[in-house]
Amino acid sequence: MTNAQGIVVQQTRGTISLTKTCTFSLKVGTINKNVTMYVLDHTLPYIILGMPELSKYDITIDCSKQKICQNGKNLNKSQNDKNHSNDKNKQNISLHISECKQINSHCSQTTEDQVNPPQSVTENKCELRKEVKDIIKNFDSVFSKDKYDVGALRVEPQRIVLNSDLPVSLRPYRTSPVEEQEIKSQVEKLLQAGLIKESNSPYSSPVTLAFKRDEGKKTRLCIDFRKLNALCKSDSEPLPLMDSLLDKLSKAKIFSSLDLASGYWHVPIHPKDTEKLAFCTNFGLYEWCRLPFGIKVAPAIFNRLIRRILTKYKIDFACNYFDDIIVYSSSELEHWKHLKTIFEICEKENIKLKLSKCVFAQTKISFLGYEIEQGKVSPNNANIETIKKLQPPTNVKELQRFLGSVNVYNKFIPQYAKLRYPLNQLLKKDVKFNWTNECQDAFDKLKETLTTKPVLNLYNPDVTCHVFVDASQKSVGAVLKQPDASDVLHPIAYHSRTLRDYEKNYAITELECLAIVDALDKFYYYLHGQKFVIHTDHAALVWLKNVKNLRGRLFRWSLKLSMFDYEIKYQKGCTNIEADMLSRHPVSHHLQHAVHLLDINEIKTQQKNDNLCGPKYHEVKDVIVIKKRNLYKIVVPFSLRLKLLNQAHEQFGHPGVQKMLNLITPQYYWPNITSDITEFVKHCSVCQLNKKRKQKRFGLLQQVPPTSTPFECISVDTVGGFNYYNSTKKFLHIVIDHATRHVWAFPSKNENSETYINILKQIFQIQVPVKLLTDRNAAFTSSRFKKFLRNYNVKHLLTTAHHPQTNGKVERVNQSLVTRLKCKVNSTSTKVPWTKLLESVTNEYNLTPHSITKYPPAYLLLGTLPYDSPIGQNSYYEPVNEARNLALQRTIDYHNKNKIRYDARFVDKKFNPGDLVVYEEFHYPNTRKLTPPFSGPYEVIKQCSEVTYEINKPNPLTKQVTQIVHISKLRCFHSPDKLKLSHE
């Protein structure tokens, strides 16, 4: 026997390493040949020939007739005789079917030869193997003899609680004679084992047979409990978290997997509830005494009982996932002690194990769809092979099944969010399923990534964690790593996700910060409570932990990160490969340009031309930098400053001053950088037209002088929107006298010049006013209306465009009359037209003392009231002339107070002819959201009054080339041509 280069062979119970070879004289039929074979550490004197060797000797195996043939001749008889006469020393080995039978029979009866020694054992392998055998022999009662030899847990019988007392009773399914015979055979065995009993229950669920993989036919007895399950109360027992179970195995080197024999059958059912578990066959009714498979609450009940048993004995070297128990240890000797402890618990709790499914003392083991080996985890081979064989999906359901299979292993797949992005688009509503080349590439890459057998390290709580993050315009990604004994970092888990629509609008600094927050959310259970390191390729985030005066979402994220103990380290993107790949997309090639706003070679050239020097400057890789707050910032020469500001401002959506500072100052520096950025943003023409800044408006209050004589000045205005209230008239025209505040109201169907002329003719019958104040409605500016006023010698005053405050008295009356009308209309049960209520509302207003003058408007106008006082006629008020003077004084006092309040919110500003301004346009609420709020720039032509100016803004209605506007609608325009940056 000689040493050989070892090979690893996969078997059902794990892997084995073959390191010995031996040469035999092999006789097969009429052929004699010397062959060299690998030696398997096994006590059975057999050899294994694969298909290539059998093909060389022209040997075929007929399993149906149980014979081996060579060149068509049966070898069974002759070889069987020769086998018994062989001399062991000659190593003359032959094959025959009887030996295969003996292998199967032997394996099902013995316990010793099913024990696999740990592969890491070398010198003391035989001793340890004997020790495992001895442990199993000592606990022979723990292993079941057959399928029906199961234990009964020493626990309280479990209850099955239903939502209804109405029994579920179904007829048995029809079965073939063969199936019925199989059902009868299994029922008899269940009766003999005491797992079921005959029943008179009102409940009944039918029996069926299911396909059993290892027997290749329908032999699995199943009860159709679907109707009963619909009535079962849910059990909220939490299922074990796979990641939490895997984390427990991080320090283990030796594993054993124990499988409970017919696990659910270990659980006794309360006698009052066994009738609910009755099932019917064509030959009788039976009910379960133990917990059957198929009942809705069975997994929760069983998992809770096994978990409580392990907790009861304070077991920290084993965990369970339903009927699978994993025992893990850091050494072989420790493992034998752990196995012995588990077997003792099984004896005490009357638990039976299925030996044929148990695996002992392996360095590599399959668990929960993963393969675990000494601190490493990888996907299970069988599952990966299944995924590998999947064909491209042809509809949404097949795509969902594929993504569901792959998603189980998403933490093994770098760039997972990126890879599945094209496939996600097919899952959206109202999207036609169109399998494109891009989808096929994504499908192939996902399969290829998994089939290359990715390996991750298991999390070790005693080692420092390193989080590598990166972001792009479509996704964020992160990698969690831990160092090994040689300080080499190995991945623990990958994470990536696609950005939501609103997140795609974030600036790059915000995206990089989002990547950190997202990674810490994902890896929270690994990182919370211990110090760790965050690696980012965005230098601006290095100051995140210590910076002050953060605003908005950066401030909220900073608070969220404050619960962690972390250190941020800057790492160039070229070295942060994995996290960078997790987030990077082909369309994101401009991100590097966005972060590095200037070409480094251009910076070097211009720095030399500017002759930058001084003790505060340093040189790093031929670039002049300055150290500020432990950060090296590039000193930008004067010739590149405007270009840098333009690049940052345009590429990041015209941010304000603070965001521009956040974007530029972490990487770049020059003297007076803050004031330069402020001036640059102030002179941006796009920002000036599209942003409403929170600042005081221009123009102090200029009031219409109060009057004491009726009809010295009147105002006219119109309110619309009344056509829905039982009337065809949709306009309310209001006239008010300034001195007395007396109101006249007229309903109308339209608001043209003819309507206003007719209304004013009625007013003029009382008295012709000196002045008339109106807005700039087309009816008031028409030639016909102007001619009408000239005929009566009435001076016409017009308000400025879109500034109703000029005609404030009538605007306030509008609100008051509409409110009174609203109360009248909505307080009556019958539908009365608003026009019929208008007269009473107007009279009520005119007879009510005004809040400023303290007199009713009707008294100030007419000098009398239409009602008498019980004490004496008009004894309430002073004589009318005295009352008008008092009303005037009270109005003046009110105006003075109002001016003080108003002026506190406005700024006194003067424009000179030739100044450039922008004009605030009027837009109706909730319309034209993307229209710029300002237009311009326009040139100031002249000042018309204290608060009105004429500007060269064309009027589309009057066709005039200029307009007179109120100063509150104007803003100063700072021309980009006049921008001057500071020069050191």
Residue 249, domain extent: 130-379
Query: Is the residue at 956 inside a domain?
Result: yes
Q: Which residue has the tokens 């009344």?
A: 722
Q: Are residues 728 and 798 in the same domain?
A: yes
Domain containing 657 — which CATH number?
Answer: 1.10.340.70
As given in the structure block, the two tokens for residue 122 are: 């070398």
The verdict on 226 and 352 lying in the same domain is yes
Q: What does the pLDDT average to over 616-640?
A: 83
Do 889 and 955 share a domain, yes or no?
no
- Give the number of other Cβ atoms within 10 Å of residue 188's Cβ: 10
- Residues 886-890: what's their mean pLDDT? 79
Fill in the amino acid letter for 521. Answer: D
Are both 913 and 885 inside the same structural domain?
Answer: no
Count the alpha carbons within 13 Å of 107 in the hemisphere toward its beta carbon: 12
Please tell me the total count of domains within the chain: 7
**Banded pLDDT at 244 (limits 50, 70, 90):** confident
Give the model's pLDDT for residue 75.
64
Q: Which of 170-179, 389-398, 716-725, 973-982 has the highest mean pLDDT?
A: 170-179
pLDDT at position 101 is 31
Is residue 122 domain-resident?
Answer: no
DSSP secondary structure of 356-422 = GG-EEEESSEEETTEEEETTEEEE-HHHHHHHHTPPPPSSHHHHHHHHHHHHTTGGG-TTHHHHHHH
Q: Is 237 helix (H, G, I), strand (E, B) or coil?
A: coil
Same domain, residue pair 632 and 520: no
pLDDT at 360 over 80: yes
Q: How far apart are CA 697 and CA 719, in angstroms?
A: 27
Asked if 941 and 971 sit in the same domain, the reply is: yes
> Sorting pLDDT into bands at 50, 70 and 90, what band is 117?
very low
CATH number at residue 967: 2.30.30.140
Cα(16)–Cα(29) distance, rounded to whole angstroms? Answer: 31
pLDDT tens, residue by residue, 712-750? 888 888 888 776 666 778 888 889 898 888 899 898 888
In a domain, 633, yes or no: yes
Q: Residue 56: pLDDT above 80? A: no
Residues linked to residue 118 through DSSP beta bridges, in sequence order:
none
- Give the pLDDT mean for 850-862: 81
Q: What strands, in cross-sheet order, belong to the sheet with 934-943?
A: 963-966, 948-951, 934-943, 916-920, 970-972
Task: Check residue 724 and give its pLDDT.
Answer: 65
For residue 306, CA distances in Å to 232, 297, 300, 346, 632 come to: 22, 15, 10, 11, 59
pLDDT bucket at 906, cuts 50 / 70 / 90: low
Examine residue 575 and state whether it is found in any structural domain, yes or no.
yes
pLDDT in tens, 789-808: 888 898 888 876 665 555 55
Per the domain annotation, does 605 fall within a domain?
yes
pLDDT per residue over 448-481, tens digit each?
Answer: 877 676 777 777 877 888 988 888 877 888 888 8
Q: What is the pLDDT of residues 75-99, one digit of tens each?
A: 654 444 444 444 433 333 343 323 3
Helices and strands, number each (H, E), in the chain: 29, 40
96 near 75, Cβ under 8 Å?
yes
- Is residue 294 pLDDT above 90, yes or no? no
**Does residue 397 lie in a domain region?**
no
The reported pLDDT for the residue numbered 245 is 80
Q: What percent of the chain has pLDDT over 70?
A: 76
Which pLDDT value is given to residue 406?
80
Q: Pick the residue with more confidence: 373 or 542?
A: 373
pLDDT of 471 reads 83
Q: Are residues 668 and 772 in the same domain?
A: no
Average pLDDT over residues 141-145: 87
Encode burial over 393-409: b for 16+ CB neighbours within 10 A, e otherwise. beeeeebeebbeebebb
Q: How confident is the model at residue 12 (pLDDT cuts 50, 70, 90)?
A: very low
Q: Do 330 and 474 sit in the same domain of this protein? A: no
- More reliable by pLDDT, 958 or 634: 634
Q: Is residue 171 one of the residues assigned to a domain?
A: yes
- 981 pLDDT more than 50: yes
544 and 612 part of one domain: no
Residue 195: closest CA among 102, 267, 137, 127: 267
Length of the chain: 984
Mean local confidence (pLDDT), 226-245: 82
Domain co-membership, 917 together with 965:
yes
Signed CA dihedral, 385, 391, 392, 395: sign only: negative
pLDDT band per the 50, 70, 90 thresholds, residue 107: very low
Cα 716-721-726 angle, rounded to 5 deg: 115
pTM of the model: 0.43
Average model confidence (pLDDT) for the chain?
76
Q: Which two tokens stand for residue 947?
A: 């608060």
79 within a domain of the structure (yes/no): no
Q: Is the peptide bond before 937 cis (omega within 30 degrees of 0)?
A: yes
Q: Are residues 525 and 657 in the same domain?
A: no
Q: Are residues 471 and 424 in the same domain?
A: no
Q: Give the SS3 label for residue 22.
A: strand
Looking up residue 719, the CATH number of its domain turns out to be: 3.30.420.10
Decide if pLDDT at 667 tops 60: yes
Query: How confident is residue 205, by pLDDT bands cut at 50, 70 and 90?
Result: very high
> Going by C-beta distance under 8 Å and a sequence separation of 6 or more, which residues neighbour residue 280?
170, 171, 172, 204, 205, 206, 207, 286
User: Which 3-state string (H, E, C) describes 527-567?
Assistant: HCCCEEEEEECCHHHHHCCCCCCCCHHHHHHHHHHCCCEEE
**Burial (0-12, 13-18, 19+ Cβ within 10 Å), 621:** exposed
CA atoms within 13 A on the CB side of 147: 7
pLDDT the model gives residue 116 = 42
Reported confidence tier of residue 214, pLDDT bands at 50, 70, 90: low
Least confident of 120-134, 542-556, 814-828: 120-134
Q: Contact at 8 Å (CB) between 95 and 79?
A: yes
Q: What is the pLDDT of residue 287?
A: 93
Q: What is the pLDDT of residues 403-437, one digit of tens each?
A: 877 877 777 777 777 788 888 888 888 788 888 88
Distance CA 369, CA 380 (A): 5
Q: Which two tokens stand for residue 344?
A: 């003792």
Three-state DSSP string of 157-216: CECCCECCCCCCECCCCCCCHHHHHHHHHHHHHHHHCCCEEECCCCCEEEEEEEEECCCC
Q: What is the spatial distance between Cα 973 and Cα 35, in angstroms, rounded to a whole number? A: 97
